[in-house]
Chains A and B, each alone.
Chain A
Amino acid sequence: QVQLVQSGAEVKKPGASVKVSCKASGYTFTSYGITWVRQAPGQGLEWMGWISAYNGNTNYAQKLQGRVTMTTDTSTSTAYMELRSLRSDDTAVYYCVRDEYYDSSAYPRLWGQGTLVTVSS
């Protein structure tokens, strides 16, 4: 079945970097984009950005520009999200989400299980 399996929880110090992986299975990886969404404790959902697994094109949230990089490895059907210069307010659960296409548009459809990233000194 189609699924996204993310890497495990991370604890990082302020100023460090984190790289979260998202391994896809059950479908042709390069046929769908991947969106990254995060959720701070007790808060709502925040869109971080999107990457095309076909050609690597990206679109990032302006507030994260310069600190976030999204990549894919088509040989392993894995997407990655790296966030640098971590701050305490980056503490959140990070989700990867596979697109679905309808009516010439794409929307986030299938969610990974989430990866908790804790930033603490």
Chain B
Amino acid sequence: DIQMTQSPSSLSASVGDRVTITCRASQGINNYLAWFQQKPGKAPKSLIYAASNLQSGVPSKFSGSGSGTDFTLTISSLQPEDFATYYCQQYKSYPLTFGGGTKVEIK
């Protein structure tokens, strides 16, 4: 199985900050990586697919990059509605696997 390791597991940031979350795969996954945002008590929401493609309707302050084993999700200017938990997921091969999540909290 491909292991997905996210870092940090949590972070505190202020409104307006630039935030970067990292996701590392235990083996190469090309660009078969998705990012999801989850708010408390809600279902996850798709943000990015194929490592860097923004889902329709997702604001451009979100961006993704990377290929192979190392990936990043960046939020360019954190807003109150962005405080949530973010997950990466590889879909290169079964079983699909998620990172452990990164909780973004208000400083």
With A102-B49, A102-B50, A108-B89 as contacts: A59 and B34 at CB distance below 8 Å: no
Chain A: interface size category: 20 to 34
Q: Does B69 contact A (CB under 8 A)?
A: no
A-B contact count (CB 8 A): 59
Chain B 43-85, CB-CB to A under 8 Å as 1, else 0, gives 1111001100101000000000000000000000000000000
B87, A107: Cβ atoms under 8 Å?
no
Chain B 22-46, CB-CB to A under 8 Å as 1, else 0, gives 0000000000101010100001111
Main secondary structure of the interface of B (DSSP, over half): loop
B43, A111: Cβ atoms under 8 Å?
yes
Which chain A positions have C-beta within 8 A of B91? 105-108
Which chain B positions have C-beta within 8 A of A114? 43
B43 in complex: contacting residue of A59, A107, A112, CB < 8 Å: A112
Which chain A positions have C-beta within 8 A of B95? 47, 59, 61-62
Min CB distance A70 to B, Å, is: 13
Given A103-B50, A105-B92: 4 more A-B contacts, CB < 8 Å: A45-B38, A45-B98, A105-B91, A111-B44
